[in-house]
Amino acid sequence: MHLNQFWKASKKALPGDKVTPQKPGPAMRIPNVYEKDCPTRLVLDHIADKWTALILWKLVDGPLRFNQIRRIVEGISQKMLSQTLKQLERDGLVSRRAFATVPVTVEYSVTPLGHSLAEKMAAVSLWAQDNIDSVLSAQAKYDAGVDETA
């Protein structure tokens, strides 16, 4: 299993730190996002991302072209959209299909794998919309408290 090779790198944490041993035998490792060199950490870094969440969620409703996504996801730059889509395609979360139309059109759609993740990320986006008032009032309270710490 090729997954094991990712843990070959040095596992030393902070000097003097005792990290929980977690059975370091040659047996198959259980993926753990809290381990520094675990591939899940890299994947988490890709997917726990603003643009990923927004793009993936919209693609669930149906395939979209490059510039359609750009118009829907307000504020995204061409560079970040291109970059994020490429990343998503590499991770097997979206599939890219080019059509030989007059100006070449490219259609992005979500894969079954991407669909399962999109549901989780959508929950986060929805949380933000549902709880924005609580967060904003917490921020206001915090900022007021910091000011009067004179």
Query: Which of 22, 65, 97, 113 is close enough to bind its own copies by CB under 8 A?
Result: 113
Measured distance CA(58)–CA(56) in Å, rounded: 6
Q: CB of residue 16 vs its own copies: minimum separation in angstroms?
A: 10
Q: Is 82 in the site for its own copies (CB under 8 A)?
A: no
Q: Which of 115, 97, 116, 114 is nearest to 106 (CA)?
A: 97
Q: CB–CB of 51/76 below 8 Å?
A: yes
Nearer to its own copies, 28 or 150 (CB): 28
Q: Is 139 in the site for DNA (CB under 7 A)?
A: no
Dihedral of the alpha carbons of 76, 78, 84, 90, in degrees to the nearest 10: 160
Q: Is 75 in the site for DNA (CB under 7 A)?
A: yes
Question: In degrees, to the nearest 5, what angle opens at C-alpha 70 toward C-alphas 127 and 52?
Answer: 40
Q: Is 31 in the site for its own copies (CB under 8 A)?
A: yes
Per-residue binding letters, 87-126, with DNA (x by CB under 7 A): ---------x-x---xxxxx--------------------
Q: Which does 116 bind (CB under 5 to 8 A by kind): its own copies, DNA, none?
A: its own copies
Residue 105: strand pairing partners: 99
- Residue whose token pair is 């307000």: 74
For DNA, the binding residues (CB under 7 A) are 16, 49, 51, 65-68, 75-80, 82-83, 85-86, 96, 98, 102-106
